[in-house]
Amino acid sequence: VQLQAFGGGLVQPGGSLTLSCAASASISSASAMAWYRQAPGKQREQVATITTVGRTNYAESVKDRFTISRDDAKNTVSLQMKNLKPEDTAVYYCNVQYTTPGGNKFVYWGQGTQVTVSS
Q: Would you place residue 52 in the very low, low, confident or very high pLDDT band (cuts 50, 70, 90)? A: confident
User: Which residues lie closer than 8 Å to 85 by C-beta, 6 or more apart?
Assistant: 13, 117
Contact 18, 68 (CB under 8 A): no
Confidence of residue 12 (pLDDT cuts 50, 70, 90): very high
pLDDT for position 29: 84
Band (pLDDT 50/70/90 cuts) for residue 36 is: very high
Query: What pLDDT does 60 receive?
Result: 97
pLDDT in tens, 57-107: 999 999 999 999 999 899 999 999 999 999 999 999 999 999 888 889 899
Query: Residue range 50-63: average pLDDT?
Result: 94
14/25: higher pLDDT: 14
Surface-to-core class of residue 69, CB atoms within 10 Å of its CB (0-12 exposed, 13-18 middle, 19+ buried): middle
pLDDT at position 67, please?
98
**Average pLDDT in the chain:** 94
30, pLDDT greater than 90: no
Q: What is the pLDDT of residue 100?
A: 87
CB atoms within 10 A of CB 109: 17
